[in-house]
Amino acid sequence: MDYVQQRMAQAAASTDASSSTLLTPLNGLLLSILLYTAYTFLLRPTPPPQLPKEEPAVVFRTFTPPTLRPYNGENGMPVYLAVRGRVFDVSRGRNFYGPGGPYENFAGRDASRGLACGSFDEDMLTKDLEGPLDKLEGLGPSEMEALQGWEERFEEKYLVVGKLVAVGEEGKEN
């Protein structure tokens, strides 16, 4: 029996020695993950930061209802709309104001009355593009307050790119 105990002691000693070695497959895997992580975060050169793409410059200009009409987002055109005589570039909100959006009726048009009344109906828009601009007569105080809220929202989010005047008023100073 002494022989069996001696062999068991030798086997136990050899397992202890082999389990304490550093070159196990698991340690090799962990070492490779550590080296890859160090390379990824510390040693790999980072690309230079990219400057944001600059929006094209927009020149302030005078629009009439017929000259504003093409700016409805179709055929690659930007999306403009007018509120109380000021023309806003709402192209960044193309999902709302461009083709297929809930406010698409206002694109390329004077949206003042529709925004004031909270209506997207076609009858809120001026039919005669060659006629006078909508003076917003008949709107109550609450409607004018709603319009002012919309106008402030547009001022915060979008650029003013021009003013809207009636046909024949283009060259006159206000």
User: Do the Cβ atoms of 66 and 76 come closer than 8 Å?
Assistant: no
Identify residue 86 by its one-letter amino acid code.
R
d(CA 174, CA 163): 11
| pLDDT exceeds cutoff 80 at 159 | yes
Among 39-43, 144-148, 154-158, where is mean pLDDT lowest?
39-43
Q: Which residue has the higher pLDDT, 87 or 169?
A: 87
Measure the CA angle with vertex 147, ends 73 and 89; round to 5°.
25
Domain residue spans of the chain:
61-164
> For residue 14, how many C-alpha atoms fall within 13 Å in the half-sphere facing its CB?
6
Q: Which residue has the higher pLDDT, 113 or 122?
A: 113
Which residues are 62's β-sheet partners?
163
d(CA 152, CA 40): 47
- Give the pTM: 0.66
pLDDT at 148: 94
Closest CA to 83 of 118, 110, 52: 110
Residue 141 dihedral angles phi and psi, to the nearest 5°: -60, -40
d(CA 97, CA 34): 51
Q: What percent of the chain has pLDDT over 70?
A: 88
Could you say which architecture CATH assigns to the domain 61-164? Roll (3.10)
pLDDT at 15: 56
